[in-house]
Amino acid sequence: MGNSKKTNHTINLHIGMRNIKTALAATLCALLYFPFSRNPTFACIGAVFGMGSDMEASQLHGGNRLFGTAIGGFIGMFLFHIYIKFYPNGEKHPIILLLLFVGIVILILISQNVWPGAVQPGSVVLCIILFNTPVETYISYSLNRILDTGIGVLVALIVNYFLPRERLIKWLEVCHLRKPEIEIEISE
């Protein structure tokens, strides 16, 4: 029979500060939407993508998501509007492939000059609008997606602003959820 090697895998189950802040930001988004019976999915996604290890990283990642969603959403609305002039029922025709190609080129050109990290999230939104959004809802879908993403990113920025790592560590120590960090001074 063959050689079978037994390998030991260890699983690292560490809950860090960013984990807690990310979960808090997503939960706050869902809580904000609760009274309005509005779906919080894209706000929660915006919060998760918008959470960075610090405020600078949050601004970068949140900006990528927000600007990408906005740029891709507006380009998608414009191109889909052109498309349904020729195919009012939204039935799929190969011409949509040309619009996708043009849309991604435009998205990249705009992103290069506005926010370079917007390309990937903008392309996702563009593809969803062109291939997966009903004719009746493509405008409301796009605008809601931009709004919800903005709310999620804003919540992530607020959480990261009010709970920087240092403040969160102290809070967890006070609640006895983390052992106090001990600083040892070594003198020469």
Residue 130: Cβ-neighbour burial (10 angstroms; 0-12, 13-18, 19+): buried
Single-letter amino acid, residue 106? I
What is the distance between the alpha carbons of residues 46 and 65, in angstroms, rounded to a whole number?
A: 7
Contact partners, residue 12, CB within 8 Å, separation at least 6:
none
The neighbour count for residue 141, using CB atoms within 10 Å, is 21
Q: Tokens 């291939």 identify what position? A: 131
pLDDT per residue rounded down to tens, the chain (188 residues): 555 566 677 887 777 888 989 999 999 999 999 999 899 999 999 999 999 988 999 999 999 999 999 999 999 999 999 999 999 999 999 999 999 999 999 999 999 999 999 999 999 999 999 999 999 999 999 999 999 999 999 999 999 999 887 777 777 778 877 777 665 566 65
